[in-house]
Structure 1
Amino acid sequence: MFVITLRYVAGLDQIDDNLQAHTEWVDGQYDDGVFVASGAMTPREGGVILATGMARAELEARLALDPFQQKGLAEYQIVEFTPRRVAAGLERLQG
């Protein structure tokens, strides 16, 4: 499992101009079963994504297709971990 943080390195006007394309890319990751949770940081300085079900190299390849990444609007940090305990209903996330 991975926790991905992305921090905006561009102004919110540029982020907003590219938000629809980013959202469509995020939707595709949910459709593929890769993302299990995502959302904007508070305050709005970037976002957080939980991803599972692939090797790190595949995740990095997918992140490279994010319009925010392709246009240099955000920087990404990936933390990999193995969930040992999860809340009821989230058992599929355990490693």
Structure 2
Amino acid sequence: MFIVLLKFAQNHANAGHYMQAHKDWITLGREAGIFLLVGSLKPAQGGMLLAHNTSLEALQQRVAEDPFVQHQVVSSEIIEVAPNQADQRLAFLLN
């Protein structure tokens, strides 16, 4: 499992130009079963994704395809997590 941090970068003022393409990229990740949770970093620092069902290399490639990353609206950081305990509702994440 991975936490992806997308923190605003040098071109964050251009976010509006790429917002729809970024949202489309998120939708593709959700539809592929990779992105489980998407949210904002508060206060107004960028966004985060919870990803699973993928390898680090595949996720790095997917993140590199984000229009926000490509146009330096955000910088990305991928944190790999090895969960070993979970609430029963999230037990599927332990695989």
- Where does the alignment leave 5 or more consecutive residues of structure 2 unmatched? none
Match of 1:57 in 2: 57
Match of 1:17 in 2: 17
SS in structure 1 opposite 2:7?
Answer: strand
The TM-score normalised by the length of structure 1 is 0.92
Match of 2:34 in 1: 34
Match of 1:66 in 2: 66
SS in structure 2 opposite 1:90?
Answer: helix
More helix by percentage: 2
Deviation at 1:18, TM superposition (A): 1.3
Greater than 6 Å deviation, 4+ residue runs = none
Aligned residues: 95
Match of 1:6 in 2: 6
Deviation at 1:12, TM superposition (A): 4.7
How much identity, in percent, do the aligned residues show? 28
Letter in 2 for 1:81: V
Deviation at 1:70, TM superposition (A): 1.1
Match of 1:88 in 2: 88
Deviation at 1:88, TM superposition (A): 2.3
CA RMSD of aligned residues (A): 1.3
- Where does the alignment leave 5 or more consecutive residues of structure 1 unmatched? none
